[in-house]
Amino acid sequence: MDGMKETVIKKDYIYLWEDLVDSADLTKILDWWKENKENDLNDFDTLPWFEDSALYYNECIGTPIEKEVTKIRDKMLEAARKSYNKPEIVPNTTTLVQWKEGKYMTAHKDNGYENDKDDLFMREFTAVMYINDDYEGGETFVLDEESGDEVISYEPKKNTMLIFRSDASCEHGVKEITAGRRLTMSMWFTTLDEYEEPLNY
């Protein structure tokens, strides 16, 4: 898989992939983001998606970074299918997200709670691709379902991807960014074809 390396953290639950794409593609995305998408909104109690700090895949189509984002998306999908040995996995949602200094996210599951499970129940796997690592904090942590202890607290490294289950078996969160800005590409996957991410070409 073009030099991509997989590390098993917890078999069938959590995997780490390194050297997913050409680092130059990540640099191009980061440079474009800084010139076109950055803003100074930063309420510590507001998640990035609600401060115009996210860009969904369809919004990348037609931009100068469409090619690079598509390549990463394809590699993330390839890795997800390989990790869980499920060729039927398809993307449900793809988004670039910037986490600014002071941002964090408490432990949660991604396939929904009572108030939003009708919208999110199809999510089966969650992946986070790290576009940059020139910041402090921002570790992704995953908890053990039984004990609540951290199974992993991953210090982000550019050109790596962490993937794990979206349900209660892998509650996870983001530790506070203490300096700088963290840009990630997040994907949620499903095996239900009817919930595959629609593309607006």
The DSSP-derived string for 92-105 is EEEEEEEE-TT--E
Query: What tens-digit pLDDT sequence spans the chain (201 residues)?
Result: 567 899 999 999 999 999 999 999 999 999 999 999 999 899 988 999 999 999 999 999 999 999 999 999 999 999 999 999 999 999 999 999 999 999 999 999 999 998 888 899 999 999 999 999 999 999 999 999 999 999 999 999 999 999 999 999 999 999 999 999 999 999 999 999 999 999 875
Phi, psi of 51 (to 5 degrees): -125, 25
The token pair that represents 134 in the structure block: 């020139």
The total of other beta-carbon atoms located within 10 Å of residue 8's CB is 11
pLDDT at 1: 57
Class of residue 156 by CB neighbours under 10 A (exposed 0-12, middle 13-18, buried 19+): buried
pLDDT at 48: 92
pLDDT at 201: 59
pLDDT at 192: 97
